[in-house]
Amino acid sequence: ALLILILASVSLKPNFLRTKRLNEILAMPRSEAPPRQIDRQPWRSTASHNATIKTRLRVALCQMRVNCSDKKANLKEAQRMIAVAANNGAQLVVLPEIWNSPYSTAAFPVNAECIPGGTSSKILSEAARDSAIWLVGGSIPERSHDGKLYNTCGVYNPEGKLVAKHRKVHLFDIDISGKITFKESETLAGGDAITVFDTPWGKVGVGVCYDLRFPEMASVMRQRGAKILVYPGAFNTTTGPLHWELLQRARANDTQSFVLTASPARGDDPTEYQAWGHSSAVDPWGAVIATTNHHPDIVMADLDLCQVDEVRQSIPISFQSRNDLYTIADHKAPSCT
C-alpha cells in the first residue's frame, strides 16, 4: 500500500506541471497557441508482426466552465480546449457532462439536438478530425427521432466519425432533505444500452455521471473487454466531496481498469447548478494519478495499459468469482437509434 501511495504522488507531479502550462496556454489568444504536428492517421498501428494494440496513451480531461446564457460561447470554448489538449499531445480527449447547456431540467428541452446532425455533434466531429484525436464528447441533451430526450455522450474517432453513442442509463433523481433535489426524469428518458467501443489501445467503456454509482454496469463493461472506463459527470457540491473520488476509485478497483472523469468547472452564479469539479484519472490499483480543483482546467495523464494486465494477473478476481453463488448478467440491450 505504501508503494502505491508513493507511485501515485510521483505520477501527480508531472500532471500539475503540465496543468500550469496548460492554464497559460488557455489564457492565450487562439492564434498564439503553440502548433502541433498532426499525424492524420495516428490511430493506425505501425508495429511489426502481431503487435496491434498500443499500450501508451495520453489523455486530457477538459474541465470547462459552462456559460448558462450563451450556447455559442460553450461551443467555442469546447473547440478551444480540445485544440489545446491536442496541441499538448493528448490522443484521447474527454469533455464534461452537459457542456453545451445549463444543467437544469428546464434547459434540456431548449438545448436538445440530434446526434448526429446537430450543431454540437458537427463541431465535435470536426474537432476530432482536425486534431486527429479520439474524442469522448462529454454529454449534451439529445432529441431522438421519437421526440424523447436523453443525456447522451457521443464518441468520435480521428476521422471525425461517430463510433459510439451512450445514453445515460441511470437518471439522476435524488432528494437530499434541505440540500438538493433534482429529477432528471422530469424531462429525460433513460438509455437502454451499455456502451463499449474499440480503440488502438483496446476497448473503452462509457457511462455518464450517475452511471458511476452502479458497479454492475462497470462489471459488464469489463466483461466486454474494457480496460478504460470514461465517465463525463457533474456531481454537485453536496455529494461530490463525499462520493466523487470514492466512486471513481471504487470502480477502478472493482474492474481493475483505468477510470477517467471530466466534470464541468464550478460556475460563478450560486443560483445555478454547482458542479463539484475535480476531474480525475485513476489507475487500476485505485490510486488517483491526476486531478485538479473546481476551476477551469485541463487534466493530463499518461496511461500505461500494461498496468491493467499486471493488476488483473496479480489479483485474479475474474477467475475467483463464485459464479455458483452469484452472477453479473449482461442482457445486451439494443443499441441506440
Residue at 94: amino acid letter: V
Phi, psi angles (nearest 5°) of residue 329: -90, 135
List the catalytic residue out of 62, 168, 184, 227: 168
C-alpha cell of 29? 489568444
| Cα–Cα dist 250/229, whole Å | 12
Cα angle, residue 33 at apex, residues 27 and 39 outer, rounded to 5°: 140
Radius of gyration of the chain, Cα coordinates, nearest whole angstrom: 19
Instruction: Specify burial of residue 319 (Cβ count, 10 A radius: 0-12, 13-18, 19+).
Output: exposed
77 is a catalytic site residue:
no
Smallest CA-to-CA distance from 169 within 148, 188, 156 is with 188
| Cα–Cα dist 101/112, whole Å | 9
Q: Mapping DSSP to helix (H, G, I), strand (E, B) and coil, where does residue 142 land? A: strand
Q: Cα dihedral sign for 235, 66, 273, 119?
A: negative
62 is a catalytic site residue:
no
153 is a catalytic site residue:
no
Phi, psi angles (nearest 5°) of residue 166: -110, 120
Cα angle, residue 167 at apex, residues 142 and 265 outer, rounded to 5°: 75
List the catalytic residue out of 62, 71, 77, 97: 97
Active site (catalytic) residues? 97, 168, 209
